[in-house]
Structure 1
Amino acid sequence: MSTTTEPHDRPAGLRPAPDTLRVTAPSVLDAGTAEQLSAPVSAASPGAAVVVDLTAVTELSLEAAAALMTLTRRCHSEGRAMQVIASAAARRKLALLGLDVVLPLRPPT
């Protein structure tokens, strides 16, 4: 699991955009690793956008899907923008669970 923050540089006088926190999941996202998705969000600056990178995920458990839903609700309640960039395998699993319509999913670029 890795995280990075990406501050945006703006010219003087313009309001800076919030930082973006990127959380990268391992290939197997299960009960043991799913909780690690939300830990970095607690340490992020207020208002920082969150990008959850699931592009390496080949296996996604029900516990991991539940953790993604919890993180989505948390970001929404804190006013944070959130995106989930998901591999084809992760998108299939989330679609089977009906979560593709409630999670802010986008395919990798």
Structure 2
Amino acid sequence: MARYPEQLELLTWQPPRTVLPFPLGRRTGKARAVARTLQQRKTHEGKEAYWQRTINAMADELRRHGATDDEVHHHICSFRTAVEAVMPTAGPIPHHGPGAA
């Protein structure tokens, strides 16, 4: 009896999974925590280093879930806006993207 490997694939095939991340700009608790930490940093370099670590971790998580570079950029910009909204007097947050030095 002939075996048809393609039939086995049909029996075990599953549709690709789509992960819809919770929008970073809506993570208000995270935005408040990041804003609080940024305000506690005394130097521009300290703020910059913390910000880069934070957005690099977020970007890595989004990429692991299949986000494109454009989607990552959109989410990071949205999160930056959310952080700035809760700390309007602390000065601007660097506009460097994930991975920037």
TM interval, shorter chain, is: 0.3 to 0.5
TM-score (norm 2): 0.34
| Greater helix fraction, Structure 1 or Structure 2 | 2
Q: Could you say which structure has the larger radius of gyration?
A: 2
TM-score (norm 1): 0.33
The one of the two structures with greater contact order (alpha-carbon pairs below 8 A, sep at least 6) is 2
